[in-house]
Structure 1
């Protein structure tokens, strides 16, 4: 425990002890010394009710009317102000000064005072951008502890669409490192996913190109010639680049390229 913490703890203990002593003095001032009690105080707790009025037996030969006013001890304790501990106040991560509250602290639980808040450093990012740029999932934002806070804002492109969820970019970057470990691993995963996208687009393009080639060969095929001549093909060859087969007729110049399903 630091010296400041011990000092504050001692101050609190001293204040509690002073309040306790005051409460005892006030409590005893209400009690009546019994003539046969040899100077010792005795507190009587017997309560009588006459009509709608309550009376307290003081033990001194008379009754004391009770009222709804709070007991002095309760009043004293309620009036004792709680100490304001400087250690409980957040410290700004930029200027290292304590502050009461701020917009970033209230909205994102991020320790930065309003004076140090910067639009460039403390940017906000949409949930969609956070997932695409930093490869995060919904569970990384909404279920992984601590759950990241966000603010909602109307979509500027179309107000009829759902509200946007805006996160603090600094917290998104920190969460991405928690998920992927290092920036290098995150960048490696980005490149891997980008390669997969390019490969998927390339395969789709090749498939479309094969369909076009097949259509062109069908349109150029002369059915009359095919009916009058029977081709005798040489051994077919395989082309790995475009996954096609090629063969030539031994008796005419006809050649064809085809695919095998």
Structure 2
């Protein structure tokens, strides 16, 4: 499927949840949530753990209502923890997620899955559920990738992830997906954790859109345990797609983040709680 190129004239993206917070009254937690205002449409991408989202929304003076859609990047607790509360408060929102986001998920640290894993409960909470295994348009100009092909030899999920408590079934996290948005300045990409790999994600979006220049890449890149070769290959992908603004946060990790800041001193920017990006 090739996305229709509906350019968003007025676009702002606000970081509502992230590991770090800079600003009076704002709180950080291990997780991610982005609030997207695309013209007259409002989309929430991920919900963090659910402990600080509502607090930060109030502190930032952001109004989630009316909310058109909630998009889940994948089914880990630090992205889906606040999902039930958001759906109960924003009853008009349509939920977009991959089916595998509802499955049990574990790491060596224990249960890391979404608190909401029952499909019937989910359907009762959401006005409508859209399963996104393929690229899907959320609102005009805003797309979610669906499942991302894993092609790059250096990229993996970024850690040890399993489908069961005994750690006998490896979880490839097929539910990992990203958002991409059309603007007159180029494609803007928002990553949740990029368990599919940043390079794989950018390559797939370029394939779907036919674009070869990206305006921005924001979000978690899950490079905390990545080799230097993988981090360098990711930087090379940013150069390949002439990414004008790079805003790593959450699970990107300090080594990769500092590497990108060194490689792209004029393009790398912070992405902590309260950061607002205007692509209008």
- Alignment TM-score, normalising by the size of structure 2: 0.20
Structure number with greater CO (CA < 8 Å, separation at least 6) is: 2
- The structure that is strand-richer by fraction is 2
Larger radius of gyration, structure 1 or 2?
1
